[in-house]
Amino acid sequence: MHPALESFPGHALWKREFLGSSGVFSVVFCAAVIPHIAAARDALEIFAIDASWGGTRSLRSDVL
């Protein structure tokens, strides 16, 4: 699920409109792991990262 990958459905549009990509990415979980997502999410912590990534924090976003 990253537009810079040639296998991504919108890759041609991304390649035409953008010069590069970022480190932001998405994942899709298979049905077998759905019951474990909440526990894994709750174990995550915000941590400081290098400022060259465009910010001073790394965050997670929930879209279920």
Give residue 58's pLDDT band: very low, low, confident or very high (50, 70, 90): low
20 pLDDT higher than 60 = yes
The confidence score (pLDDT) of residue 39 equals 92
User: What number is the average pLDDT over the span 7-33?
Assistant: 87
- Residues contacting residue 48 through CB under 8 Å, at least 6 positions apart: 56, 57, 58
The confidence score (pLDDT) of residue 56 equals 54
User: pLDDT averaged over the chain?
Assistant: 77
11 pLDDT higher than 80 = yes
The confidence score (pLDDT) of residue 64 equals 47
Residue 13 structure tokens: 């549009």
Q: How far apart are the first and last CA of the chain?
A: 15
* HSE toward the beta carbon, residue 18, CA cutoff 13 A: 13
Cα distance between residue 52 and residue 64, in whole Å: 30
What is the Cα gyration radius of the chain? 15
